[in-house]
Amino acid sequence: MSNVEFGFVVFEKCFHCNRVRTYFTKEMVAILGDEYREGDHFWHRVENAQSFRFNLDCSICGDSMSFDDLMGLLYCTGCLSDCRLEILRKKLEAERTHMLMACGFLVESQLKPKQVRPDKLEELTNYFNQRRGTARSRIKIVAFDLEDGFSRCKGEFLHDVGMLSQEPITARRSPF
């Protein structure tokens, strides 16, 4: 992993159309509740999650693969038993493989997040499996590609929220 940059994933919601959009920022202080108008949208920040972005470098050929389009990794909470990803998670779990879902950024014009290329997800999976002992279990990173996006999914991001809280948070509210 190289070129690691820490920052915030900002979740903004339009209180006019209810759409959510997200982006990464390296600003030092993330201000919640900042409101502004952009065309027909009235955006306000509903969440700032501390996160990071990075590249993966090949030590053999020197190629660098950027993951700037990766908003974050989600873990499945098993909220819907008939969900395609939950069914896949259970199947992989039986094979001692733990599934995480890669989520691209949300744009206001689309219901579901942008997709990260499958070859990049494969490299990311390989990277994490090479960092760990795979005799006990493995990791599989799949695309978060549910047609209805986050409208029903209660998956949770591996992000840091509530870092300014005086006590560690034990429950999170969804930004969607």
Contacts with other proteins, residue ranges (CB under 8 A)? 1, 4, 6, 50-52, 54, 73, 75, 98, 100, 128, 131-133, 136-137, 139, 156-160, 163, 168-172
Comparison of 17 and 163: residue with beta carbon closer to other proteins: 163
For residue 161, the minimal CB distance to other proteins (Å) is 9
Smaller CB separation from other proteins, 115 or 137 = 137
User: Nearer Cβ to other proteins, position 26 or 136?
Assistant: 136
C-alpha distances out from residue 84 to 88, 105, 154, Å: 6, 21, 14
Cα angle vertex 49, ends 111, 43, to 5°?
50
Instruction: Report in angstroms how near the CB of residue 160 gets to other proteins at its nearest.
Output: 5
DSSP 82: T
As measured in angstroms, the least distance from the Cβ of 10 to other proteins is: 14
Q: Which is nearer to other proteins, 58 or 169 (CB)?
A: 169
Helix and strand counts by DSSP (H, E) for the chain = 2, 9
**What is d(CA 145, CA 136) in angstroms, rounded to the nearest whole number?**
28
Residues 39 and 28: their CA atoms lie apart, in Å, by 27
User: Distance (Å, rounded) from C-alpha 106 to C-alpha 103?
Assistant: 9
Nearest distance from C-beta of residue 6 to other proteins, angstroms? 7
- Is there a contact between 153 and 112 (Cβ–Cβ < 8 Å)? no
Least distance from other proteins to the Cβ atom of residue 132, Å: 3
Structure tokens of 137? 């279990």
List, in sequence order, every residue forming a beta bridge with 104; answer none if it has no partner. Answer: 70
Nearer to other proteins, 79 or 111 (CB): 79
